[in-house]
A = this chain, B = another copy of it.
């Protein structure tokens, strides 16, 4: 067990940490066959690893997420981590019981190696020279991190959306290293509609003249294109109903239309604001590489069938979908559940009725909490009874 893992639970302020491995010649072998090195992984942890390293949970973030799942980065930081309401003492990912880890994905832009990192071969940033990565490649980097932290077998992996894809890869390919997988609002393969939305986002980025084939790091980044890509994304994260509840047809800063181009609906201003703030924290090249990784995710094709993908898994599964999620609709979760059941695997499934669309997995924490709590508790009991690891 490493020194990092021994530190005590920090309920408030957390600091990102960095783990680096591999070199230019001896790095991470990617699904493409290319070798990437060195690789740096940014991660955070909450709670304390127990003596036999049996209480570790790895949280897996979604497309635009980062390692900062909970807590604050400083005492005057107003924005906690992306799953703060789920992580902490007494919360479902209970830091009094569990050692909770979250790392920024490979290909990301928030501390881990990605297209904005320096390519050791050239001394310049990778840009589009960065190798094409897959969801599986992200998991391979996470396994290196677990090795580094002295965690042989995770109690659980948990994630929504792209995070759920990573959880599926963990449980499908590395079930000896993960006891349970919590998969929220996810899918075993991206739909044609999902690919189409990602293609629009990439087109918007690449059409921005500032994009310059991805070599924009020494100048102005393609903020207009990235902002449009994010606007499209945001629409897919919400639902028709949640947009109606949140904005309806209200006008921004006025009560009635005056038939000028200044007339704008609140939903337009919201999207433009969201697109505009996104560009401050996200790299356009990461948008391209991560969205490609999502497009390529297809457990059925990779393993011949979805049943094959789960044939040898020993992990338990908790799968949650959300009724109004039209990006990764419930029927896609049910396909996973059916494949697991046909292989007589241990799977719990619930479709949560919610109006918030794909974003429900981040918002419906109270509805998820009891199920996640119970699932983790069962995993802990299994572990005690089995005497693992």
- Min CB–CB distance A286 → chain B (angstroms): 15
A375 to B332, CA, bound (A): 40
A249 to B296, CA, bound (A): 9
A239 to B191, CA, bound (A): 11
Could you tell me which residues of chain A, from 239 to 255, have a CB within 8 Å of some CB in chain B?
239-240, 243-244, 246-249
- Min CB–CB distance A128 → chain B (angstroms): 7
Q: Mark A252-269, 1 if CB is under 8 A from B, else 0.
A: 000001111101010110
Question: Does A231 count as interface, using CB distance less than 8 angstroms?
Answer: yes
Could you tell me which residues of chain A, from 111 to 162, have a CB within 8 Å of some CB in chain B?
128, 131-132, 134
B-side contacts of A51, CB under 8 Å: none
Question: Does A20 count as interface, using CB distance less than 8 angstroms?
Answer: no
Let me know if A191 and B243 touch, CB within 8 A.
yes
- Min CB–CB distance A21 → chain B (angstroms): 22
Question: Does A337 count as interface, using CB distance less than 8 angstroms?
Answer: no
Let me know if A243 and B207 touch, CB within 8 A.
no
Let me know if A192 and B132 touch, CB within 8 A.
no
B-side contacts of A132, CB under 8 Å: 259-261, 263
Let me know if A189 and B249 touch, CB within 8 A.
yes
Question: Does A1 count as interface, using CB distance less than 8 angstroms?
Answer: no
Let me know if A200 and B231 touch, CB within 8 A.
yes
Question: Does A347 count as interface, using CB distance less than 8 angstroms?
Answer: no
Let me know if A329 and B240 touch, CB within 8 A.
yes
Let me know if A259 and B31 touch, CB within 8 A.
yes
B-side contacts of A248, CB under 8 Å: 192
Let me know if B231 and A268 touch, CB within 8 A.
no
A204 to B268, CA, bound (A): 13
Residue of B at shortest CB range from A269? B199
A32 to B262, CA, bound (A): 13
B-side contacts of A225, CB under 8 Å: 207
Q: Which of B134, B224, B268 contacts A196 (CB 8 A)?
A: B268
Q: Mark A183-195, 1 if CB is under 8 A from B, else 0.
A: 0000001111101
Let me know if B31 and A200 touch, CB within 8 A.
no
Let me know if B261 and A191 touch, CB within 8 A.
no
Residue of B at shortest CB range from A247? B192
Question: Does A66 count as interface, using CB distance less than 8 angstroms?
Answer: no
- Min CB–CB distance A14 → chain B (angstroms): 35
- Min CB–CB distance A248 → chain B (angstroms): 6
Could you tell me which residues of chain A, from 249 to 305, have a CB within 8 Å of some CB in chain B?
249, 257-261, 263, 265, 267-268, 271-272, 275, 292, 295-296, 298, 301
Let me know if B203 and A246 touch, CB within 8 A.
no
Question: Does A216 count as interface, using CB distance less than 8 angstroms?
Answer: no
Question: Does A350 count as interface, using CB distance less than 8 angstroms?
Answer: no
Q: Mark A166-208, 1 if CB is under 8 A from B, else 0.
A: 0000000000000000000000011111011101100110011
Q: Mark A40-79, 1 if CB is under 8 A from B, else 0.
A: 0000000000000000000000000000000000000000
Binding site for B on A (CB under 8 A): 30-34, 128, 131-132, 134, 189-193, 195-197, 199-200, 203-204, 207-209, 224-225, 227-228, 231-232, 234-235, 238-240, 243-244, 246-249, 257-261, 263, 265, 267-268, 271-272, 275, 292, 295-296, 298, 301, 326, 329
Interface pairs (25), CB distance under 8 Å: A30-B259, A34-B259, A128-B261, A132-B260, A134-B259, A190-B249, A191-B243, A191-B244, A192-B246, A192-B247, A193-B235, A193-B244, A195-B265, A195-B268, A199-B272, A200-B231, A200-B232, A200-B271, A209-B209, A228-B228, A240-B329, A249-B298, A261-B292, A263-B296, A326-B326
